[in-house]
Chains A and B, each alone.
Chain A
Amino acid sequence: MQIGSIQFIENKPSFLSSPLKSLLFRHRNPSSPLILARYLRRRRSRCRPHSPRNSVNTMQQSKDPFEVVTEEQEESPPNSPTVHEETETQTPTAPLSVNSQGADVDNTKNPQKSAATSAATSATAKTVKNKEDDDEEEEENMDVELGKLPSSSDPSKMAKMQSILSQFTEDQMSRYESFRRSGFQKSVMKRLLGSITGSNKISMPMTIVVSGIAKIFVGELVETAKVVMKERKESGPIRPCHIREAYRRLKLEGKIPKRSVQRLFR
């Protein structure tokens, strides 16, 4: 499966120095629909809020129920329904350990994971756990998108991604986490599209597509603004003048849809 978002990173100058070949995927049994389905059921039952973060400052300290779900999910890929039930009992304990941030989480989680996997009967679970001990530090924040990901069927890409992610500094990791996790709220986008087009029923794929397009557009704007800032040798947060210049440049490139009718009296 083509991984388009990573291609996007490669094409643009960005703070990530090395090309990220593929999205990281933790499950070693990638094609099992049970994993995905179990994750989805959990997600439904938890009524996950879009983003529980209170402010941008505390971005690094919040733990999304998403993460809890997917962290618990990875502990033992279910080969049979019995394994499935066993790992479910781990769910109440998992949230307790994930409330702390940083290295502490790794230490508390690893013993817990060993407890979880010892309870699991399948041998594959143990091998999974061993491989994922290393991943734990880097990936604990990545679970949201990763749980959604089905396989990237290229193990070399996965290995490359892991090696890149393992070398991230904390700052880079938090930025990557924001990059992966952030998105426009589907409900808001759906309402917006409905009001623009005038039709009440906006299909879910359409909302998803427009949200994705808008996010990449934001990315192009921000990255172009960063380029502008570098040219002007300025630093600090991006200012509106940079955004306006970036917008003007994107318009010259033709990436902004032109209005067929001029908008008067805004």
Chain B
Amino acid sequence: MSNASAGPSSKAKTGSSHPSETSLKRKRGLFQKDLQHMMYGFGDDSNPLPETVALMEDIVMEYVTDMAHKAQDIASKRGKLLTEDFLFLIRNDLPKVNRCKELLSMNEELKQARKAFDVDEEKLAQKD
């Protein structure tokens, strides 16, 4: 069991009730660097306190875990876990909804650009 084998330096994963998570022990600085920059960007001091960053990481991990569990509950009726399940969960939160729509459309555009680029490269290769 992951909990039994967890060393003193690593924390057991939050979902310790799920036996499937044997491989992932929650290391301390999983999102530490990213979170520091993110918190500075959102208004914190340029050097956020380490305990604040640690607490943020715990909160974010718990948030993502809970969201994923809820999404799975929703998806279990249909079968597969889809992106739409996450979008359904945040439907009431307007900033998140808009941001996700924007991210997804940007992703699509990038995909198209990649495709177009490959086509152009082929054309170039043919010309040469």
Most buried by B among A7, A226, A243: A243
B23 / chain A contacts, CB cutoff of 8 Å: 195
- In angstroms, Cα B99 to Cα A2, docked, is 9
Q: Are B33 and A184 in contact (CB under 8 A)?
A: no
Q: Are B49 and A40 in contact (CB under 8 A)?
A: no
**A209: contacting residue among B21, B37, B100, CB under 8 A:** B100
**B87: contacting residue among A8, A38, A209, CB under 8 A:** A209
How many residues from B make CB contacts under 8 Å with A? 76
Count how many pairs of residues, one from A and one from B, have CB atoms less than 8 Å apart in the complex.
233
Closest Cβ neighbor of A247 among chain B residues: B59
A7 / chain B contacts, CB cutoff of 8 Å: 94-95, 98
A19 within 8 A of B: no
Q: Please provide the chain B residues from 71 to 128 with a CB less than 8 Å away from any CB of chain A in the complex.
A: 72-73, 81-83, 86-87, 89-90, 93-107, 109-110, 112-114, 116-118, 120, 124
B72 / chain A contacts, CB cutoff of 8 Å: 197
B47 / chain A contacts, CB cutoff of 8 Å: 56-57, 237
A18 within 8 A of B: no
**B45: contacting residue among A34, A237, A240, A257, CB under 8 A:** A237
What does the 1/0 interface line of A1-42 toward B look like (CB < 8 Å)?
111110110011011000000000000000001111110110
B51 / chain A contacts, CB cutoff of 8 Å: 239-240
Give the secondary structure class of B's interface: helix
A179 within 8 A of B: yes
Q: Chain A interface: which size bin? A: 35 or more
Which 4 pairs, one residue from A and one from B, show the smallest C-beta to C-beta distance? Answer: A4-B98, A37-B117, A179-B41, A36-B113
Which residues of B are interface residues toward A (Cβ below 8 A)?
Answer: 13-15, 18, 20-21, 23-24, 30-31, 33-49, 51-52, 55-56, 59-61, 63-70, 72-73, 81-83, 86-87, 89-90, 93-107, 109-110, 112-114, 116-118, 120, 124
Which residues of A are interface residues toward B (Cβ below 8 A)?
Answer: 1-5, 7-8, 11-12, 14-15, 33-38, 40-41, 50-51, 53, 56-57, 59, 81, 148-150, 175-185, 188-189, 191-193, 195-199, 203-206, 208-210, 212-219, 221-223, 225-226, 236-240, 243-244, 247, 255-260, 263, 266
